[in-house]
């Protein structure tokens, strides 16, 4: 029984009375001696988290825009987190920054307006609490503007409404707002 408790104590670092386990102290995955599980990266946790919002329609070159903004944040020793209203697995697969999904009405057509609004507000609050952002970069609509456009049109018409969100020019203006901050960090 004692051996079993010792195994659990080395597997779950917070059970060892405040002694954090290093990756070398952790057990390897079954059948793979080289893989160690580390759930916390202290260097990334110490960086201020920056919210990058892209709510509404996404331009065709969104991957390049997100990469440029995220790279500028990393150069400034910040940890970028992206919130998008379009479910884009292709971006999730290639983007180094974590991406949170904020569903539009067309993704949740079965919900009534009040249910959708309550859900999206709750989801936004959870994202804000989860990441504890230091600042925000809006590449398109603000959260309130996004919610207003979603509530203004019936769920079936949301795809057409999203197509009329802010033009690409706003995305470039937001990227330029980062430049002085990045240069100051150098």
Give the model's pLDDT for residue 6.
60
pTM over 0.85? The answer is no
Does residue 74 share a domain with residue 7?
Answer: no
Determine the Cα–Cα distance for residues 178 and 186; give it in Å rounded to an integer: 13
Q: Mean pLDDT over residues 172-179, rounded?
A: 56
Q: Does 155 lie in the same domain as 94?
A: yes
pLDDT of residue 30: 56
pLDDT band at 125 (very low <50, low <70, confident <90, very high): very high
**Residue 43: predicted pLDDT:** 81
pLDDT of residue 26: 52
- How many structural domains does the chain have? 2
pLDDT band at 160 (very low <50, low <70, confident <90, very high): very low
Give the largest Cα separation in the chain, rounded.
Answer: 65
132 and 178 together in one domain: yes
53/23 same-domain check: no
Phi, psi of 179, deg, nearest 5: -55, -50
Question: Is the same domain home to 57 and 30?
Answer: no
Looking at the structure, do residues 26 and 54 belong to the same domain, yes or no?
no
Q: Are residues 16 and 69 in the same domain?
A: no
Q: What is the CATH number of the domain that holds 58?
A: 3.40.50
Distance CA 136, CA 48 (A): 11
For residue 84, the SS3 value is strand
d(CA 149, CA 55): 10
Residue 163: the pLDDT is: 44
Domain extent, residue 86, equals 43-185
> Does residue 35 have a pLDDT over 70?
no
Structure tokens that stand for 186 in this block? 């150098």
């Amino acid at each position: 029984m004692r051996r079993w408790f010792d195994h659990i104590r080395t597997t779950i670092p917070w059970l060892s009375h405040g002694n954090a386990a290093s990756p070398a102290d952790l057990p390897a995955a079954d059948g793979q001696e080289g893989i160690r599980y580390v759930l916390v990266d202290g260097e990334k946790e110490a960086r201020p988290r920056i919210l990058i919002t892209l709510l509404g329609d996404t331009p065709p070159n969104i991957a390049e825009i997100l990469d440029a903004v995220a790279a500028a944040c990393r150069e400034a020793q910040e940890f970028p987190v992206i919130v998008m209203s379009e479910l884009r697995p292709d971006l999730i697969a290639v983007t180094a920054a974590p991406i949170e999904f904020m569903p539009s009405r067309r993704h949740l057509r079965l919900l009534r307006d009040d249910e959708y609004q309550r859900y999206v507000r709750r989801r936004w609050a959870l994202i804000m609490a989860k990441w504890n952002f230091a600042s925000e970069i809006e590449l398109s609509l603000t959260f309130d503007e996004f919610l207003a456009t979603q509530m203004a049109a019936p769920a079936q018409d949301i795809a057409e409404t999203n197509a009329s969100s802010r033009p690409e020019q706003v995305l470039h203006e937001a990227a330029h707002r980062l430049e002085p901050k990045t240069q100051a960090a150098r």
